[in-house]
């Protein structure tokens, strides 16, 4: 990024963050459903689910954190759609502002808001009995993966916000993303699933991401799963970023 783009992105990101801080219900609402799922699976279903010798909440939390982020990025698509419909982007275009800074501001705002929601869910998980032996380096690795996951999904949200025809359509794209962890190793081991479902669960991106986060939180070696997870995350991020930029330029012609 040039100095001009970085400055404009910083200013616009500050504007978006002020809106969120004045109305923190977005962050709280994003955390409500994941916390409800956490309580439901730990306190209601947890006694009947066997995942090994550790506590079920330790097994469950990584998948819940991904659901938290998938829920949160829906608001990015929603806000972007409203901005497009309200003509805010056209007003920005009449000002000496770098085009890409408008999208980057939305993406960075999403990253901050979603990481705050993740922090809330993690704090509640600790109160419910979650325990970790992760080192500082492992925690930094986990945060890095969650941030990459947030950025990848946020750029997908940008595509949805730019291409949607209705406000409901803008946020509905996140439903499959929220559902995807249920067909992975997030809630139960894939070995307990029927063979066709297990094959899908083992080869979709959420499983490698969840397994990596689980190993980091447990202070165990991550093995080759981290490279699979990073491959998925970087691949989706780059594809969504190029697609979103192309779509944005086409919309502003």
**Residue 253: predicted pLDDT:** 65
Q: The tokens of 215 are what?
A: 């190993």
pLDDT grade for 82, boundaries at 50, 70 and 90: confident
What gap in Å lies between CA 221 and CA 238, rounded to an integer?
27
pLDDT of 54 > 90? The answer is: no
Answer whether residue 93 shows pLDDT above 70. no
Contacts of 245 (CB under 8 A, 6+ apart): 100, 103
Residue 21 above 80 pLDDT? no
Q: Tens digit of pLDDT for each residue in 239-253?
A: 999 998 888 878 766
Dihedral, 185, 191, 193, 197 alpha carbons, nearest 10: 70
Q: How confident is the model at residue 181 (pLDDT cuts 50, 70, 90)?
A: very high
- Residue 102, pLDDT > 80, answer no
- Reported as a single tens digit per residue, the pLDDT across 108-123 is 888 888 888 999 999 9
Rounded Cα gap, residues 250 and 165, in angstroms: 16
Unique residue bearing structure tokens 């609402």 = 29
Residue 170 scores a pLDDT above 80: no
Q: CA 185, CA 114: separation in Å to the nearest integer?
A: 22
Alpha carbon distance 250, 229 (integer Å): 32
pLDDT of the residue at 149:
96
- In 3D, which of 100, 84, 96 has the Cα closest to residue 170? 84
Q: What percentage of the chain carries pLDDT values higher than 70?
A: 84
Distance, CA of 51 to chain centre: 25
Q: What is the pLDDT of residue 247?
A: 86
Please report the DSSP string for 70-93 in residue order.
Answer: HHHHHHHHHHHHHHHHHTHHHHHH
Distance CA 218, CA 207 (A): 16
Give the model confidence (pLDDT) of 171-180 as tens digits. 788 888 889 9
CA angle, residues 206, 209, 213, in degrees to nearest 5: 135
Q: Which residues contact 1 (CB under 8 A, 6 or more apart)?
A: 9, 100, 104
User: Sign of torsion, CA 224 207 69 123?
Assistant: negative
Q: What percent of the chain has pLDDT over 90?
A: 47
Q: Of 93-102, 190-199, 242-251, which has the strongest mean pLDDT?
A: 190-199
CA dihedral 118, 34, 197, 172 (to 10 degrees): -90
> pLDDT value at position 249?
78
Name the token pair of 140. Answer: 């930094």
Q: With a cut of 70, say whether residue 135 has pLDDT above it.
A: yes
Q: Averaged over 101-108, what is the pLDDT?
A: 80
**Burial class (CB within 10 angstroms; exposed 0-12, middle 13-18, buried 19+) of 98:** middle
Lowest mean pLDDT among 3-7, 123-127, 189-193: 3-7
What's this model's pTM, rounded to 2 decimal places? 0.90
Q: How far is CA 185 from the centre of its chain?
A: 17
The 10s digit of each residue's pLDDT in 216-226 is: 999 998 888 99
């Amino acid at each position: 990024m040039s100095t001009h783009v970085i400055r404009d992105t910083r200013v616009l990101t500050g504007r978006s963050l002020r809106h969120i801080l004045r109305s923190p219900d977005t962050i709280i609402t994003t955390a409500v459903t994941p916390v409800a799922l956490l309580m439901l699976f730990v306190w209601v279903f947890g006694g009947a689910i066997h995942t090994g010798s550790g506590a079920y909440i330790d097994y469950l939390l990584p998948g819940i954190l991904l659901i938290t982020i998938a829920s949160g990025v829906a608001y990015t698509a929603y806000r972007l759609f409203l901005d497009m419909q309200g003509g805010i982007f056209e007003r920005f275009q009449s000002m000496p502002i770098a085009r890409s800074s408008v999208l980057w501001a939305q993406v960075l705002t999403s990253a901050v808001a979603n990481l705050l929601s993740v922090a809330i869910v993690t704090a509640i998980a600790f109160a419910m009995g979650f325990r970790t032996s992760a080192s500082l380096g492992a925690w930094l690795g986990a945060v890095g993966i969650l941030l990459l996951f947030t950025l990848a999904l946020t750029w997908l949200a940008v595509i949805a916000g730019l291409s949607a025809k209705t406000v409901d359509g803008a946020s509905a794209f996140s439903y499959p993303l929220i559902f995807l962890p249920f067909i992975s190793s997030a809630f139960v081991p894939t070995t307990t699933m029927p063979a066709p479902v297990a094959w899908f669960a083992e080869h979709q991106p959420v499983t490698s991401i969840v397994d990596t986060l689980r190993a980091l939180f447990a202070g165990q070696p991550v093995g080759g799963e981290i490279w699979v997870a990073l491959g998925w995350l970087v691949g989706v991020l780059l594809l969504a970023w190029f697609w979103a930029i192309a779509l944005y330029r086409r919309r502003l012609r």
